[in-house]
Each structure stands twice: as structure tokens, then as C-alpha cells.
Amino acid sequence: MPTAPLQPLRQAVPADTERRPDHYVVEGRTPAIAFAPGDRFQVAALLRAASDAGLVAVPQGGRTATAFGRPLEGYDVALDLRGMHRVTEYVPDDLTVTVEAGLPLGQLQQTLGEHGQYLPVDPPPGDDVTIGGMLATARTGAWRGHMGSPRDHLLGVEVALPSGALARSGGRVVKNVTGYDLHRMHTGALGAFGVIVEASFKIAPRPAATRTLAAPAADLNEAMRVARTAWDASLATRALTLLGSAAAAHLGLPSRPTVLIELAGSEAAVDRSAREFGALSGRTEEPAGEIWKRLRALHGDATVPVARLGVPPSLVADIVASAEGAGGRAWGHLAAGAVIIHGDLPVEALRRLRATAEERQGFLQLEQAPVALRREFAPAEPGDGDLVRALRDRFDLKRTINRGRWGTGL
């Protein structure tokens, strides 16, 4: 690439923000230039300069989702947001917090934990994800069906646009969130409508006690019966997951369908719920180690495909069985109606699973996969392509940010 188009980017921000491009390889591509902006104004200035020069900018933080979405159609400028890691406002009494997009989730949880609070989200592959990446990808974990998704806790965002403008939607406190929730449009948008530079959340008191129990079953039908009974039993549940045999074995459990439940609340509520779950399942054990952390971490190797299906809860066991029958490791978060498939499945198997999900008004999305698979099998169906195109035209006409992630022309 000629040197001339890059000079306006260097002039837009201080010299000490420039970084080595070879540290930011994505999909085998090395950008022409890389920056680690220190604040929102520098992000906006770099986007403006990139847009004016017709370059493609790729924002990134913890780099845990670089294999997400369709393959990039260009990659000229890396924007490393990890330098933007401040907690800009925290009011424990109001249960609200505002943070910059490059802050890792684990650091936020540590700060909130000092006041007995937390943000009740558990996105994969772990707490090293940045707040901006968590929102841009909308990845969720086992807590979603019981605690809500990151989007459900979001009060507002500030976004840097390719025009160089900064736009705010929503507020920093609950009572200020009125009108259209435009800030939620950015959740899961992969930067299509701007780069999130700051986000505000409503948070929650940290539970006094937590406990995880595993109930192995003879087969998936029995496991599903136990899971459905537990779901209906009004237990102090924070997560309820149905593991296929292959997934259970991969986590170090016996190779049997297993119901995994996490209880959270007061000591009394957790103790009561543990007794009731033991009674309804017939047999329980406490798995060794941090099994939920191990489950999230299965998303950590970008070379191993991970697919997520959204289906009615009644279909979870059938999808788990089909996925493991095709050679994957699968588990389902019952309350969320989500099934995760980890491993190399034939494309035809993925197509069949997508068709099954769509027949029930669900979906299948590749959350990560090598480039070759994402070229052969669309990571997600485009949905209302005309609407996405219109919004892209409004916010990023030149497709400066993550060009190609939503698909050609989107």
C-alpha cells in the first residue's frame, strides 16, 4: 500500500499511539498500520481519516473473536482499544457503572466485587473479553436464560462514527433511559454502525453463595427430564445446562449425558435448592475445578469451529443428540433455548441443523471458524438485508469498519 494514504492517520493522533502491524494479524492478513488510541476522540479521528482515505479499519480488544462473522473484505488499519480501560463513573448505591470499551470484563468484575456487586454476564471464552467486544459480538453464556444478556443490562453507549462524530444513545442511569433503544442496536452489530467507545450498565448485588452440581443420566431423554423438572422447580438457579456425552467427557466428567446446574443466592436458598435438586435427579456430585470456566474456555481456540443455535427449549436435547451424532461436542442452556456445538462438523450437517432450527423459527450462527469454513458456510443468515444495508448506509456508507463481516454489500 502506498505511504501517502497512511500519513493522514498518523497526523490524526499522537505518534506514541502507533503500534507494530504484525501484532494484529487477522485471518492471515497483516494491516498496513496499527494504532492503540488512548481515548474516544482519537478513535473518532482515526475512523474519519480512514474513511476519507478509503481504508478499512478493524477494531479489536482482547482478540477473542477475530474468527467471528464473515471473512473480511479488507484490512488496512488495526484499532487496538485496550488502552481505553477506565471506569469513568461508578455509583454503587445506584447500581450503575460506566466504563470504556477496552476494559476487560474481569477487571470490571474485580472493581465491582469490592462493593459486593457484579455485572451478571458470563460471555465466552472468559473474563479476558473486553466490554466493547462483548457487546459487539453479543456472545452469551450459561447465565443468559436466568440473568439476562449483556444487552439486557445495557443502559447506554457512546459510539465513534466514520464521520469523526461521537454519538451517545441511552443514559448512564436507569431513569434516563427513554425513547428508542438505539444503543441496543450496536449489540451484536460487529461494529457495523460505529465503534463502541463507552458503555453504561445496570449491575446487581453479588450472591452470597454459589454451588455447582452435576447429575449424570442414563441417556439424553432422562437428562432432559431432570433438566425440565429442575427448571420448573423454582430453584435458586443461575445456570442450567444439558451436556451431551462427548461434551461431558471433554470437560473431564464421565462420558454420559449430564445436567449441570449452578445455584446462586443466599446460603439458605442455595442449601435448599441443592437438596431439592438432589432429590429430583436421584444422584448428584460436585464437579472438581471451575467447570463453568472450562466450558466457556472451549470457545478459546479460534481454529475449532463453534456454532450456536437458538431453538425452543423442547428441542434442546434433540439438537444435542444430532450434533454429537455428527461428531461434535454439544451442550444446551435450557432456559435460553441455546445449543452450542464445538468441533468440526461436516458442512452438510451444519446445513441440516440450520434447516431444523429455522423450521422452528430459530437460527444457527457460526460464532467462530477458520476462514475456509466461513467462506463455504455463511456464519449467519442475512435476515432483512435491505434494513441492514440501509442502516449501514446511514452510519458507515463507505464500509470503513469491518468491511465484509456482515456480508458483501452489507
Among residues 359, 362, 323, which one has the least CA distance to residue 343? 323
Residues 63 and 74 in one domain: yes
Does any domain span residue 66? Answer: yes
Per-residue confidence (pLDDT) for residue 177, from 0 to 100:
46
| Residue 116 burial class via C-beta count within 10 angstroms: exposed 0-12, middle 13-18, buried 19 and up | exposed
- Pairing status of strand 77-80 against strand 33-35: parallel
Please answer whether residues 201 and 119 qualify as being in contact, where contact means their C-beta atoms are separated by less than 8 angstroms: yes
pLDDT of residue 383: 67
* Pair 125, 238 in one domain: no
Q: Is residue 403 part of a domain?
A: no
Same domain, 342 and 248: yes
Alpha-carbon distances, residue 99 vs 51, 193, 194 (angstroms):
26, 20, 17
Whether this prediction's pTM lies above 0.85 is answered by yes
Distance of CA 111 to the CA centre of its chain: 21
- Determine the pLDDT at residue 178: 46
Answer yes or no: do 160 and 12 share one domain: no
Residue 292 lies in a domain: yes
- Per DSSP, the three-state class of 64 is coil
C-alpha distances out from residue 57 to 8, 15, 221, 291, Å = 14, 18, 48, 37
Largest separation between any pair of C-alpha atoms in the chain: 71
Residue 277, domain member (yes or no) = yes
**Residue after which a domain boundary falls, among 54, 82, 110:** 82
State whether 185 and 273 are in the same domain.
no
DSSP states along 168-230: EEE-SSGGG--S--HHHHTTTSTTTT-EEEEEEEE-EEPPSEEEEEEEE-SSHHHHHHHHHHH
Grid cell in block for residue 25: 494479524
My answer on whether 168 and 274 are in the same domain is no
Residues 19 and 141 in one domain: no
Q: Name the nearest CA neighbour of 82 among 127, 134, 38, 32.
A: 38
Q: Are residues 236 and 320 in the same domain?
A: yes
- Domain membership flag for residue 375: no
Are both 229 and 182 inside the same structural domain?
no
Whether residue 233 sits in one domain with residue 363? yes
Please give the pLDDT value at position 289: 82
- pLDDT of 24 reads 98
Indicate if 343 and 234 belong to the same structural domain: yes
Find out whether the peptide bond into 379 is cis, omega within 30 degrees of 0. Answer: no
Q: Take residue 331 and report the three cell numbers written for it.
A: 451442550
Q: How many CA atoms lie within 13 A of 342 on its CB side?
A: 24
pLDDT for the residue 173? 66
Q: Which domain holds residue 226?
A: 209-300+303-369
For residue 384, the model assigns a pLDDT of 66
CATH code for position 41: 3.30.43.10
- What pLDDT, on the 0 to 100 scale, is given for residue 3? 56
Report how many domains make up the chain.
3
Structural domain ending residue among the three candidates 369, 385, 401: 369
Same domain, 48 and 115: no
Q: Residue 383: inside a domain, yes or no? A: no
Cα(305)–Cα(101) distance, integer angstroms: 26
What pLDDT score was predicted for residue 172? 74
* Alpha carbons within 13 A on the beta-carbon side of 97: 25
* Structural domain contains residue 324: yes
User: Per-residue pLDDT for the chain (410 aa), expressed as one digit of tens each?
Assistant: 555 689 999 999 999 999 999 999 999 999 999 999 999 999 999 999 999 999 999 999 999 999 999 999 999 999 999 999 999 999 999 999 999 999 999 999 999 999 999 999 999 999 999 999 999 999 999 999 999 999 999 999 999 999 999 999 887 765 544 445 677 889 999 999 999 999 999 999 999 999 999 999 999 999 999 999 999 999 999 999 999 999 999 999 999 999 999 999 999 999 999 999 999 999 889 998 899 999 999 999 999 999 999 999 999 999 999 999 999 999 999 999 999 999 999 999 999 999 999 999 999 999 999 999 999 999 988 666 788 888 889 999 999 999 999 877 66
- CA 4 from centroid of its chain's CA atoms: 37
Question: Does residue 318 lie in a domain region?
Answer: yes
User: What single letter denotes the amino acid at residue 353?
Assistant: L
CATH of residue 232's domain is 3.40.462.40
- CATH number for the domain harbouring residue 92: 3.30.465.10
Among 75, 327, 311, CA closest to 319: 311
Domain end marker among 205, 232, 249: 205
